[in-house]
Structure 1
Amino acid sequence: MKIGVLTYHRSHNYGALLQALALRYKLTEMGHEVCFIDYWPKYHQDMYSLFSMRYVLHCSKINVVKYILNTILYWNRRKKRIDEFEQFIGEYIVPYCAEYSDKNEYDIIVYGSDQIWRKQPGLSNHFNPVYFADNILHAKKHMSYAASMGMLKLDIEDYSFLRMKMKNFFKISVREKSLKEILETIGVNAPIVLDPTLLLTKTDWDELFPIKRLYDERYILYYRLSRSFDEKIVADFAKRKGCRLLILDGVVRMTKNKTIFAANPLQFLSLIKYADFVFSSSYHGMVFSLIFNKEFYACFPVNEERRAKSLLDIVNLSNRLLFQKDEIAYDIEKIDYKNVNRRIEELRAFSLDFLQLSM
């Protein structure tokens, strides 16, 4: 079958890129011809550009001043990060892209994973119909795989939109319990499936990419996408464990301490794989900690933990979810990865069945 994947395949975000690659890898392994549909609207491009006039024109004066100052102060750092991601995208994504066009014909278009169904700030906080199979693309069938919506603040109009657009899909699956429950209120039964990154085993990731160790010394990794947890607490944890603290920033930002700000996705995988312990305020930082069987804490602000909690509940690791004012248990019992891996394997089998039966 000829399959097109519509997702966030060009984001300068580790999880977005790696989930896209993982889904294409699995579908190709099933024997299909698979490409990324190269839809990347201007508002997405602006998010990862060195400077965006569109952002300046549509933001408040305070945010514009902050944006311009940050652009000037961190120009070189941001350029280095952009260059690292663009090089990776050029090597692993672009060769498998097809034009977003009404000239191409597909047997199936798969929408997802990642937060493709979130409201878009670049569209005045509205949904983008393109990701709901309301677009110029031609396919015999449209389906979603592990679609996510991020923050869930919906009004009556949003529910009306979803009720109408869900009719475009012949099969629907989601990544989180919270979104499943929302769709149930409009009469849509959508099973929960694994994020595409979890469709691959640790061995798969090791074989897919050369994941080399970057640091010889023992270290604790703090993947800081949002500043949702006190860095001093993490630093004290690392000191007690006799390890160096490495902070991987998900964005270029002002920081008092030296951080890693321009790691490419392969280095991201390495930093997690070889860490003694991982703190992550990112969903995919948590996911890859599970894949590589690492001891970890997932650190999220209250009301932003739904995605992480959904997966942690499934694998019986809800005690690994930390909020900003929570104390760290230094003597916490080690994760029983024998049971965790067994549960993930069950979910992987279910998720792959969903994909195979949908083809």
Structure 2
Amino acid sequence: MEIKIITLHSLFNPGSAFQAFALQHYLSKNGDVQIIDYRPAYSRYGGSFFKAFIKKLLYFRLRKNQSEKFEAFMKNYMNLTKTFYTYKSLCKANLKADLFVTGSDQLWNTDYPCGKDNAFYLDFVKNVKKISYSTSVGKKHIEEENLKKIKSFSDDFSSIAVREKDTAVQLGEKLKRNVEWVCDPVFLLDRDVYDSMIAQKPMFDKPYAFVYLSPKSPMLDTLIKYYRFKGLMIVLGGGYNKSRCDCDVHLKDMGPIDFLNCIKFAKVIISTSFHATAFCHIFHKDFITILPPKNGERVVSLLEQTNLMSRSLIERVDFDAIQKPIDWDDVDRKLSEYTDVSKDYLDRVLNFNKRMM
């Protein structure tokens, strides 16, 4: 079977890189799987060519190093088609496959350019089976405009599966069809797969707390002081601005493998990131997730499933909650139930497609 996936795989974002890799890796047992190397302008410039140009001038060497790390990751771990820079070129390519999949990440969130891009609704695919897997809208209440966008393309999909429980309910009601709730692709793979990708020793000699994608806030300052008092070095990952927190090390040119290494060996991870939270589950790491004010539903959905909402913060730091040990056996049981349903969905769709060939 020939399968093609479209997703956000080429951003300077470790979570995007790993979810794309994981979905391709899992599906590859069913045949030849390629990720469509679609890189529209907004994915390359972050929505602003001017800001991207200024950053490139100011941080040329850092951005070059980071770009090389992400390109190396894609070269080593992804099977890509030729590159398409515009939706028009994608349509003209007339790509062939037995099945097209629109993958994970917030592809259907119209707060972002990707959610308004017909490519991620597979509109360029005609007369071939289409499915979604773990496609995210990313928010608890989906606005009517966002729902209309999804509905306008949904009839062409033979099956739809999304990453958030509330999204599955809302879309099911709006589309008047079954919409399944499945896990993010990173959970489809065993921990051993990720262990094999990274060095077996930490990047730093001292015990550390890893801070990732957490904007400056009084809660973050409180947590930094608390873990520094406990003797931990503070490592900040990503971004170019150190002012978000008082850190000892700032990894400004962090690549996907650096990200994974930092999580695996950290004593605790502080983030607002869904994928940082996900990998804390996979590696059994102590963590605190500061819930973002917008588009936090994907994190909440995961933490509710694993009964770890006590590890999330909204307005204040609950020291009693964050000091309580995590029962990883219980978490693994809950995750296993979740991933088994997700794998069943994919196996069911793929086996049906094989019978139809």
Tell me whether the two structures share a fold, i.e. TM-score over 0.5.
Answer: yes
CA RMSD, Structure 1 to Structure 2 (Å): 2.5
Equivalent residue, structure 1, for 2:39 = 40
Kindly tell me the number of residue pairs found equivalent between the two proteins: 339
Partners of 1:336 and 1:169 in 2: CA distance = 39
Deviation at 1:41, TM superposition (A): 1.3
SS in 2 for 1:109: strand
Task: Give the share of equivalent positions with the same residue, in percent.
Answer: 27
1:204 aligns with 2:193: yes
1:310-349 C-alpha deviation (Å, 9 max, x unpaired): 1100111110111243344376210000010111111111
1:227-255 C-alpha deviation (Å, 9 max, x unpaired): 45644222222223222111112x32353
Equivalent residue, structure 2, for 1:59 = none
Q: Which 5+ residue runs of structure 2 have no aligned equivalent?
A: 84-89, 351-357
Equivalent residue, structure 1, for 2:331 = 340
Equivalent residue, structure 1, for 2:154 = 166
Deviation at 1:260, TM superposition (A): 1.2
Q: Which amino acid aligns with 1:265?
A: P
Deviation at 1:152, TM superposition (A): 6.2
Equivalent residue, structure 1, for 2:70 = 85
Partners of 1:333 and 1:357 in 2: CA distance = 39
Equivalent residue, structure 1, for 2:110 = 119
Equivalent residue, structure 1, for 2:87 = none
Contact kept, 8 Å, 2:288 with 2:322, in 1: the verdict is: no
Contact kept, 8 Å, 1:228 with 1:324, in 2: the verdict is: no
* 1:1-359 map, 5 Å: 1-28=1-28, 30-47=29-46, 55-56=49-50, 72-93=57-78, 95-98=79-82, 100=90, 102-119=93-110, 121-122=112-113, 127-135=116-124, 137-138=125-126, 140-151=128-139, 154-186=142-174, 187-210=176-199, 212-227=201-216, 230-249=219-238, 251-253=239-241, 255=243, 257=247, 258-329=249-320, 332-359=323-350
Residue range with higher mean Cα deviation, 168-177 or 37-46:
37-46
Q: Which amino acid aligns with 1:6?
A: I
Deviation at 1:223, TM superposition (A): 1.3
Partners of 2:189 and 2:11 in 1: CA distance = 21
Structure 1 residues 146 and 84 mapped into 2: Cα distance closer, same or farther (>3 Å)?
same
Contact kept, 8 Å, 1:229 with 1:299, in 2: the verdict is: no
Deviation at 1:75, TM superposition (A): 3.6
Partners of 1:301 and 1:158 in 2: CA distance = 20
Partners of 2:36 and 2:126 in 1: CA distance = 12
Contact kept, 8 Å, 1:300 with 1:324, in 2: the verdict is: no
Contact kept, 8 Å, 2:214 with 2:270, in 1: the verdict is: no
TM-score, length of structure 1 as denominator length: 0.85
1:93-112 C-alpha deviation (Å, 9 max, x unpaired): 3x433554543321111111
Structure 1 residues 340 and 122 mapped into 2: Cα distance closer, same or farther (>3 Å)?
closer
Deviation at 1:177, TM superposition (A): 1.9
Partners of 2:341 and 2:267 in 1: CA distance = 31
SS in 1 for 2:320: coil
Partners of 2:9 and 2:54 in 1: CA distance = 29
SS in 2 for 1:221: strand
SS in 2 for 1:168: coil
Partners of 2:158 and 2:348 in 1: CA distance = 12
Q: Which amino acid aligns with 1:45?
A: R
Q: Which amino acid aligns with 2:96?
A: E
Residue range with higher mean Cα deviation, 97-106 or 5-14:
97-106
SS in 2 for 1:110: strand
Structure 1 residues 224 and 342 mapped into 2: Cα distance closer, same or farther (>3 Å)?
same
Q: Which 5+ residue runs of structure 1 have no aligned equivalent?
A: 57-63
